[in-house]
Amino acid sequence: SQATCVVCNQQFSIHYRGKADIDNHMKTQKHEKNMKSYNVNQQLITDTIKPSKEKDEICSAEAVLVVHGVKHGHSYVAQQCLTNVSKTIFSSSTVANHLSCGRTKSTSIALNVLAPYFTRCLLDDLKQSLYYSLHFDASNKGNTKEYPFCVQFLSSSGVKKGIVDLIDDADESANGIFANVRQLIMDNDQDFNGLTALGADNTNVNVDENHSVYSLFKEESPDILKGIKVLVN
């Protein structure tokens, strides 16, 4: 058995003597030296980072503005304009005056905060459903080939659909797409047997009876259905 000392960032064995091994480690010169700086750092963090209701309200307001912009397809340039207008209209509001949600920050909030959160919510709902369909399409963005993957399923609140991942891959072969789809299902801990239908463009690489993404899935799941309409278009 191994124990980890957070202060020393080190693992040591407690297999033979248990608590005695821990006591011996705590008496070492290295641990005692690290404890001095560890206590100082902990105190600095506690003194410097303090909860602030006002900061929480500002962060919440910025997140709401970004959600609103993404929902209605507004550009991040327009997001900057909206922030400036809000400051002017609500000049007496402390929260509005401290908004700093321009193009760069809005992009970061959307990609690094909101997207992972809503994707996780979608996948959590998907795990409560027994069956789902998967839709994908290939699109060019500059010199990059992108594949958005979208799921559709029946939840307790009705039919839900959403993009779960966007994969960059120049391989447009049936084997390459099949490998990406399979890996996507595994990475998100979804039940492969719950996949009931594939939706994709009506091309040979996607739906050909002899060798295609559909035929490869058909070999593993004989009851899978062939869909044509693509939700990600």
Q: pLDDT value at position 47? A: 52
In whole angstroms, how far apart are CA 10 and each of 14, 18, 34, 37, 149? 13, 16, 11, 16, 41
pLDDT of residue 139: 79
From residue 231, alpha-carbon distances to 7, 133, 170, 190 in Å are: 51, 10, 21, 20
Q: Answer yes or no: is pLDDT of 231 > 60.
A: no
Contact between residue 174 and residue 212 where contact means Cβ atoms under 8 Å apart:
yes
Q: What is the pLDDT of residue 49?
A: 52
Each residue of 187-205: pLDDT tens digit?
A: 888 888 888 888 887 677 7
pTM, full prediction: 0.63
pLDDT, residue 16, reads 67
pLDDT digits (tens, 9 = 90+) for 53-98: 888 888 899 999 999 998 898 888 888 888 889 889 998 988 888 8
pLDDT score recorded for residue 42: 63
DSSP single-letter state for residue 113: I
